[in-house]
Structure 1
Amino acid sequence: MNAPTSPEPRVTAVAIVGGGQAGLSMSWHLKQAGIDHVVFERDRCFSEWRTARWDSFCLVTPNWQCRLPGFHYAGPDPHGFMLRDEIVQYLDAYVAHFDPPLREGVNVVRIERTADGRFLLTTTDGNWIAGQVVIANGVYSRPVIPRAAERLPQQILQLHSSNYRNPQSLPPGATLVVGSGQSGCQIAEDIHLAGRQVHLCVGGAPRSPRVYRGREVTDWLTESGYYDIPYERHPQKATVREKTNHYLTGRDGGREIDLRRRALEGMKLYGSFRGVDDTKLQFAPDLARNLDEADRSYNNIRALVDQYIAEAGIDAPIEPPYQPPWSPSHEVTELDFVDAGIGSIVWAIGFTPDYGFIDLPVFNGRGHPIHHRGVTPVPGAYFLGLSWQNTWGSGRLADVGKDAQYLLDAIRRTDESCHARAA
């Protein structure tokens, strides 16, 4: 009796791995160009926006920056900041707008090169052969929680920022938030504004002004062309790709976050988290330095705006220099979590990408993608949605479509090259 044979792999010109804003922006461009393709999404499209955001979450950039290709924001409040559910509605409307060839609930477990230079994708819905492949599964795949968390007692509820929902869902007692990036600061504020005691570990994240000299800073930086500077010409060069996002918020119509003011209101601030020793939480003595560095970034952005206003000859109101309203009198490097009554900890120290399924020589010694604007050394293999893939807006709702357009041109060139060799 003959053994059953495996079904033949299905074939597509381009396979896209990931059904978020990056993958679907790529799909929009491919569909407009009439190029056969498939989008694989292991969950539901835009799943992170649906399930990994807290209840009061809102955009930190104005609504007008929601400009996915072919579907710019057209609502009544371009300078507002959409709430989580409104963002999901916008994204769902985008999918309905152009009906991409999306296969939800299909996980790509391996990508490898075939002998003829194409790509074999092993998925939970069978095998596929693709002429080219775009990796767009995002950089926020695996939540980071330090091993020190294992030394905390079970009665303390521990959550990653992606699992936090609201202050009411936390147990009684104070909350320690570890991490002062965008999520950490906004979650700490959310709990603080609910009247709960918050302890915050402040890391090296920079902060940004919200409104300066009469206008939203995002408008100034867009108008001046700053957001269009490619990373190769950025003053910080390629190191800008390693930087944490500036913290500010779209809450209450949009405002900046000044942790010094929150300290005056009773939020307890510490330096970077170091570990746990018995009932003691340990912190680095770097709170003052981290606050000063965040302010330095804040003031540098103001200076960029000042320079643009002066060079363009714009009449804009003058604002006084920022004066820190609070500074730590000493560095607290240890806190007894029992004495402090801490009942919950929110780990807001980020994510790591998941590239374990990619069996291609497209990574450097640190495991980071090797690419130029998403084009890798392997012909036909691309990344999309990376932070600072080209500019500040790369990977964001603002400009991920521009990066997808660039890859469309690369996909066309590779396809023409393959056809020329075959002829």
Structure 2
Amino acid sequence: MIGSTSSPAHSVAAHSVDAHSVAAHHVPVVIVGGGQAGLSVSWYLGSEGIDHVVLEAAEVVHNWADTRWDNFTLVTPNWHCKLPGYAYAGDDPDGFMTRDQVVDWLTGWLETFDPPVRTRTRATALRHGAAGGFEITVSTPTGDETLTCDEVVIATGGYPIPIVPAFASTLDPSVTQVHSEEYRNAAQLPEGAVLVVGTGQSGAQIAEDLHLEGRKVHLAVGGAPRVARTYRGRDCMTWLSDMGIYDIGVADYPGGRAAQEKTNHYVTGRDGGRDIDLRGFATEGMRLYGALAGGQGSELVFEPTLQKSLDKADAVYNSICADIDRYIDREGIDAPPPARYEPVWSPDHEPQSLDVAAEGITSIVWAIGYRPDYRWIEASAFDGGGRPMQSRGITAVPGLSFIGLPWMHTWGSGRFLGIDADAAYVAQTIVARGAVAADTDAGSRRAS
């Protein structure tokens, strides 16, 4: 995520170049975004001696320190954490790193090579250059500058703009509203009950975090699926990896390109990892509703979709277990016996309205996702929804590539598990198109 103004929870090492050295000359390749995806492309370009620069609007990999809540953990096992020339080597490969541990791990990676990063440098406009290539306008602490390049890689993240519904501004101003990326802990919110809207990975885990802290939680349940944490003796994501699910290209994946719009399954890595069972939360006092349809003042309106959403999430959960069963049988693997999830609770009615004042709700956490924002890019590389039209990160616009998008190539894209392969492909394409090696010390940024 680009553009946070909060203070980092950790001091992340930044490998910066002089603020004026890049502006003075043409750079063959510019990478916009200094998260793990952009830096992975930099690793590969550096290993080929390709002259390039990475532009980062804040600090290197700051989003891990700045936009995750205090009790955040990965939902993928630690062994999934692989970046170019670097992989998780701790003593808990099947565990789940906390936010602070992820920051430390990434800091360790940055110490293995020397990416040419300009921090506090935000790209504000990208256009075709008059003499070919691209012109990039950047905003820096000392003013605006213009760079030129032959190749540009956009690594700003798939969906950088937090979504908040239009009617949020009409709600009772005494109710505190935060987006999930602003949420840090229960103590941050005023005393009283909390409404969490959305049950993707962030919404479900934040609802759990608040629930474990003893807060009264109301949860608007969306259409996200869920998955078992462990099944038949192993983590489900380890089974799926062994089955090759994360390596299937989007064009070959069931549902094709529609898979790119799927919400990730909710589950948690907290306390060693476990299922997130919203029905179980309901038996413990959490109030569940269907999708939030609108509201004004202190009144909210919900759609009668709660039962349908719970049933659908459980059906996906059991379907994944069935896929694993078939794989175990086909491969002749010795594993504990199969099982299926049986609902522990069902709503006896579908509440369709809520008076937040009457229920003592003093805050709302919006966890309904993000939207793309590439308005600063002047290029015919986007569909009607503003999403990049790309194949494995490569667009039809010569010299324009993307990295770090969800489902850019596989289900693993955008995750630690898939970034290395995606970055290698983008970098190889750039090299094949004739990117220029640095004139001096071409190997200085080669991974150590």
> TM over 0.5: same fold?
yes
Q: Residue 323 of structure 1: CA displacement?
A: 0.8
Aligned to 1:4: none
Which residue identity is paired with 1:271? G
Measured at CA, do residues 278 and 106 of structure 1 come closer, stay the same or move farther in structure 2, by a change above 3 Å?
closer
Which runs of structure 2 are paired with 1:77-88 in the superposition (5 Å)? Answer: 77-88=92-103
**Matching of residue 42 in structure 1 with residue 57 in structure 2:** yes
Paired position in structure 2 for 1:373: 392
Match of 2:129 among 114, 118, 128: 114
Which string of whole-angstrom CA distances, capped at 9 and with x for unpartnered residues, describes residues 71-124 of structure 1? 111112111111111111111221221110011100111111113321111112
Using the TM superposition, give the Cα deviation of residue 9 of structure 1 relative to its aligned residue in structure 2, in angstroms: 5.1
Q: Secondary structure at the match of 1:307?
A: helix
1:229 paired residue among 243, 248, 254:
248
- Contact residue 50 and residue 435 of structure 2 kept, 8 A: no
Q: Percent of pairs identical after alignment?
A: 50
Q: TM-score, normalised by structure 2?
A: 0.90
Q: How does 1:196-215 map to 2 (within 5 A)?
A: 196-215=215-234
Give the match for residue 325 of structure 1: 344
Once the two structures are superposed, residues 124-149 of structure 1 have per-residue CA deviations (whole angstroms, 9 ceiling, x without a partner) of 24211111010000024111111111
Q: Which residue of 2 aligns with 1:21?
A: 36
Alignment of 1:36-185 (within 5 A): 36-125=51-140, 126-185=145-204
**Pick from 423, 432, 437: which aligns with 1:404?**
423
Q: Deviations for 1:161-192, whole angstroms, at most 9, x for unmatched residues?
A: 11111112211110000000000000000010
Paired letter, 1:29: Y
Q: CA deviation at 1:267?
A: 0.5
Are 1:40 and 1:104, in contact at CA under 8 Å, matched by a contact in 2? Answer: yes
Aligned to 1:421: none
The alpha carbon displacement at 1:416 in A equals 7.2
Aligned mates of 2:389, 2:190 — CA distance in 1: 44
Q: Partners of 1:123 and 1:9 in 2: how far apart?
A: 13
**Secondary structure of the structure 1 residue equivalent to 2:26:** strand
1:306 is aligned to 325
CA RMSD of aligned residues (A): 1.4
Runs (4+) of structure 1 exceeding 6 A deviation are: none
CA contact (8 A) 2:40 2:423 kept: yes
CA contact (8 A) 2:409 2:422 kept: yes
Change (3 A) 1:124 1:10: farther
Equivalent-residue separation in structure 2 for 1:300 and 1:211 (angstroms): 14
Describe how 1:5-16 pairs up with structure 2 within 5 A. Answer: 10-16=25-31
Match of 1:254 among 273, 278, 296: 273
Greater shift after overlay, 382-391 or 109-118?
Answer: 109-118
User: Which amino acid is the alignment partner of residue 82 of structure 1?
Assistant: M
The number of residue pairs the alignment matches comes to: 411
In the alignment, what sits opposite 2:444? none
Q: CA deviation at 1:320?
A: 2.5
Q: Is the 8 A contact 1:9 1:129 kept in 2?
A: no
Give the 3-state SS of the residue equivalent to 2:27 in structure 1.
strand
1:243 corresponds to 2:262: yes
User: How far apart, in 2, do the equivalents of 1:235 and 1:276 lie?
Assistant: 37
Q: TM-score, normalization: structure 1?
A: 0.95
Q: Distance in 1 between matches of 2:403 and 2:23?
A: 29
Amino acid at match of 1:91: L
Task: Please name the residue that 2:286 is paired with.
Answer: 267
* Structure-1 separation of matches of 2:302 and 2:84: 45
Q: Which residue of 1 aligns with 2:11?
A: none
How far residue 8 of structure 1 moved from its aligned partner, in angstroms, is: 7.1
What is the rounded CA distance, in whole Å, between the counterparts of 2:349 and 2:92 in structure 1?
A: 44
Residue identity opposite 1:195 in structure 2: G
SS at match of 2:208: helix
CA distance in 1, matches of 2:156, 2:221: 29
Q: Is the 8 A contact 1:386 1:395 kept in 2?
A: yes
- Give the letter aligned to residue 338 of structure 2: E
Give the Cα separation in 2 of the matches to 1:168 and 1:381: 44
Contact 1:379 1:414 in 2 (8 A): no
Q: Which amino acid aligns with 1:75?
A: G
The one-letter amino acid of 2:104's match is Q
Q: Is the contact made by 2:55 and 2:117 (CA closer than 8 Å) also made in structure 1? A: yes
Residues 26 and 147, structure 2, Cα contact 8 Å, conserved in 1: yes
Task: Name the amino acid aligned to 1:359.
Answer: E
SS of the residue corresponding to residue 110 of structure 2 reads helix
Q: Counterpart of 1:34 in 2: which secondary structure?
A: coil
1: CA distance between counterparts of 2:49 and 2:250?
31
3-state SS of paired residue (1:129): strand
Structure-2 separation of matches of 1:36 and 1:383: 18
Helix, strand or coil for the counterpart of 1:389?
coil
How far apart, in 1, do the equivalents of 2:375 and 2:420 lie? 26
In the alignment, the residues of structure 2 paired with residue 154 and residue 59 of structure 1 have an alpha-carbon distance, to the nearest angstrom, of 34
2: CA distance, partners of 1:313 / 1:177: 44
Kindly provide the amino acid, as one letter, of the partner of residue 21 in structure 1: Q
Q: Which has the higher helix share?
A: 1
